[in-house]
Structure 1
Amino acid sequence: MNEPHTLPPRPRDRLYAVATLVLAVLLLPAALARRPGRARELACRWALRTRFPAEDLTGLTDGATAAFTAARTEALWRHGQLLGLTSGYRDPLVQQRMFDEEVRRSGSPAVARRLVLPPAESNHVKGIALDVRPYEGARWLEEHGARYDLYRIYDNEWWHFEYRPDSGGTPPRRRPHPGVVPVLEDGDQLDESSGTRGSRAAAIALAPASPRRVSAEWRNSCGSQPVPGRFSAVRSSSMARAWP
């Protein structure tokens, strides 16, 4: 589904992308001397480190790290797009604090789950979730990420992707927000951490009864904002509060 409003790229983002690509080209001879077989990847890593000096891939699973590294290398060299990491692995205590803060802010655990999940349910804690930037990089990853088993998961979070190597190249069904538990065709809930079925009744508070109800609740929670489609026009205001 195409979203009703698209965000034009900011001029500075385009400038950053060009400068980073030029730097990667300049670093390529040194990368060739260091690692001849993976010179482009190494030069890309060096160049992106100057653009995103604070990012930290520590704690991501080996598969998620390899997939993200390969994706951002292709994005830069083939398409001139930057792909940075805002948040990857999170310690359970950090995730719990984020959830508690969102509960206090929103006044309800159910509402808080639309933006951030408790540690037991968060794929950031499992090391397979990645919050990326900038917006144009996220657009690129949504279009090309399936080749690397990286998929956008939520309608309301253009930045949130997850490493799903068991998807068989088929994108997981997108959910309106993190608080919606995946529902199988027979009505059972899917436990994503184990791939097993769970009780529908046990998760009914987290899984709204119908897509219409989900859409209505999400519209109510966003006020006048449109329900996000392929890429939400809501940028950093919601991203700054919390991520699942």
Structure 2
Amino acid sequence: MNEPRTIPPRLRDRLYAALTLVLAALLLPAAFARRPGHARELACHWALALRFPAEDLTGLTDGTRAAFSAARTEALWRHRQLIGLTSGYRDPAVQQRMFEEEARRRGSATAARMLVLPAAESPHVRGIALDVRPHEGARWLEEHGARYDLYRIYDNEWWHFEHHPQRRGTPPRRLAHPGERRTGWTPATPATYDLEPAAEKTPRPRLGPPRRERTTCPNERSTAAPSSPGDRQRPRAAS
């Protein structure tokens, strides 16, 4: 199942959410002493780090990390929802290896692109992609993430979100899978997606006086010797 709404909340996840919220409340005085203006965000960060000890936010762009921290701070304090990170930034070599392994497993690069993109096209390599958990957290982020320019991108990946501040709260058209081409909007780095083909450029007019064409009279005979087969122009080698 691809949609988080189709999976009912588990009792274990509800229990974890309640315990994490209590822990964040207990950590709030210490967070206030450390950062008075951002105490709730810092306490949330500490509590979620204990709930999801394996997550790693390093490598994300500053904007992506700030947006994600703000979003899950609101999710925890206002709606009692946890949002953990399973995968964020990926090293290009790791991403490319994932793609090649998936291509071998599925039999072709085209089939692999339905689940994994090569390193040159992956938003994980650029540090703007977030794979989140659990299902309830992903559902919350899908409904409220636009306020932070965090958007779900693929139909077949409920966990995958990307930070696109240039969208300014307007969700892009969702793709069926990572291999589908993106048209109609410009992402943060245009090389990541295939955009609408650009219009062909009109040739620029040639400057200066027009070139005169040499005319030959019908009765004029050529004085050049006839060319032999060896003198014919050879085709240029491809560059």
Q: Deviations over 1:175-223 (max 9, x none)?
A: 0000001133xxxx967622784649xxxxxxxxxxxxxxxxxxxxxxx
Instruction: Describe how 1:226-237 pairs up with structure 2 within 5 A.
Output: none
Question: Would you say how many aligned residue pairs link Structure 1 and Structure 2?
Answer: 194
The AA in structure 2 aligned to 1:93 is: A
Equivalent-residue separation in structure 2 for 1:169 and 1:47 (angstroms)? 28
Unaligned runs of 5+ in 1: 201-244
User: Could you tell me which residue of structure 2 aligns to residue 194 of structure 1?
Assistant: 190
User: Could you tell me which residue of structure 2 aligns to residue 181 of structure 1?
Assistant: 181
Q: Tell whether the 8 Å contact from 1:190 to 1:198 is kept in structure 2 after alignment.
A: no
Percent identical among aligned pairs is: 73
Equivalent-residue separation in structure 2 for 1:128 and 1:57 (angstroms)? 11
Residue 35 of structure 1 pairs with residue 38 of structure 2:
no
Larger Cα Rg: Structure 1 or Structure 2?
2
Q: Tell whether the 8 Å contact from 2:183 to 2:195 is kept in structure 1 after alignment.
A: no
Equivalent-residue separation in structure 2 for 1:155 and 1:117 (angstroms)? 15
How far residue 169 of structure 1 moved from its aligned partner, in angstroms, is: 1.1
Q: Deviations over 1:118-138 (max 9, x none)?
A: 001100000000000001000
Q: Deviations over 1:75-132 (max 9, x none)?
A: 0000000000000000000000000010011001000000000001100000000000
TM-score by length of 1: 0.76
**Relative contact order, higher structure (CA 8 A, sep 6+):** 1
C-alpha RMSD of the superposition: 2.0
SS of alignment partner, residue 71 of structure 1: helix
SS of alignment partner, residue 15 of structure 1: helix
TM-score by length of 2: 0.77
Residue 22 of structure 1 pairs with residue 27 of structure 2:
no
Q: Tell whether the 8 Å contact from 2:4 to 2:136 is kept in structure 1 after alignment.
A: no
The ranges of structure 1 where at least 4 consecutive aligned residues each deviate by more than 4 angstroms after the TM superposition are 189-192, 195-200
Residue 10 of structure 1 pairs with residue 14 of structure 2:
no
Unaligned runs of 5+ in 2: 199-239
